[in-house]
Structure 1
Amino acid sequence: MAITELGATAGADETQGETCSPGLACLLIERDEAKRLALMLKAIADPTRLQIFRIIERAPAGEACVCDLADCLGFRQPTVSHHLKLMTEAGLLNRERRGTWAWYSVNYDGLNRVRAILNPSAVAAATA
């Protein structure tokens, strides 16, 4: 198969007289936005971080303390803190310092951005 000028692949259809048409709407995500979205996806694409996210999302008060997460997961606090830091930096969690402990809650703007990546039409319909 060859690549045409339009970026489409030329194959068996060309031999039958049909050619590719420029029907694609090349609506690319801006590069900086693509990098931010990739960072979010990388931050959530880890089994431990998915577990942490789910625990926080389903917490009765909608938030969890790092010490409670460590106990729940059976990991040491520095390990949990590392995962929480990555998810907070990616925009998936909010962090609030209370005394010596940090409390985490879901950042719903970040969660909606992830949802928009996976199902853009559903998010557009929900916000309309």
Structure 2
Amino acid sequence: MAEAEGESLESWLNKVTYPSNGQEDWEYIIGFCDQINKELEGAVRLLAHKIQYPQEWENPIFDEEEKSKLLAELLKSKNPDDLQEANKLMNSMVKEDEARIQKVTKRQHPLGEVNNNVKLLNEMLVPYSKEDS
């Protein structure tokens, strides 16, 4: 756990939630928990930020760039097999994009409901008076 010294809370969170981790890495999890105990207030803000904004496993820019380059090469080819492969690649890219959009929508819907409920509660509290109750 010598690595823990000098690591930021966000770097620990990124290590714990890195998408290519096949399973839990307890060294990272313990390091993250230790860092939370040191920076509780910052941890709350960081986690709220991570929940509200797209996660790394959703927007993977490098994969998209590589796929786009491959697609361009396949489309330039006159080989029917390459064109068929390009078609498969385009279909998979469309499906991945739809899945990302669906994940974002699923995350935004509850946040919108919470926002509406807070507004409603605030409206209900406007006429409230401690003296009259």
| Larger strand percent | 1
Q: Answer yes or no: same fold by TM over 0.5.
A: no
Q: Which has the larger radius of gyration?
A: 2
Higher-RCO chain (CA-CA 8 Å, sequence separation at least 6): 1
Superposition TM-score, scaled by structure 1 size = 0.31
